Amino acid sequence: MSAVAIIPARGGSQRIPRKNLKLFNGEPMIVGSIRKALTSGLFERVVVSTDDDEIADVARAHGADVPFLRPADLADA
């Protein structure tokens, strides 16, 4: 059996717009979650679910899979 980490990352946020791309300790916030999942030894695959092209690019650059972009009608909640 394989374990998959799924990290949801909306592009829009009501309180902090594009917070997943805001820098925290010098890197986009989403990178910390990806790195922790990849180095935990618990998951065979780390998938980021997002509606945002830039978040998808950052996630892929840091080792996560982004198999598709979520449709806008599923990304507003």
What pTM did the predictor assign?
Answer: 0.88
Phi, psi of 44 (to 5 degrees): -85, -20
**What residue has token string 């999942």?**
37
pLDDT in tens, 13-42: 778 888 999 999 999 999 999 999 999 999
Tell me if 47 sits within 8 A of 5, measured CB to CB.
yes
| Higher-scoring residue by pLDDT: 75, 37 | 37
Question: Is 58 in a helix, a strand, or coil?
Answer: helix
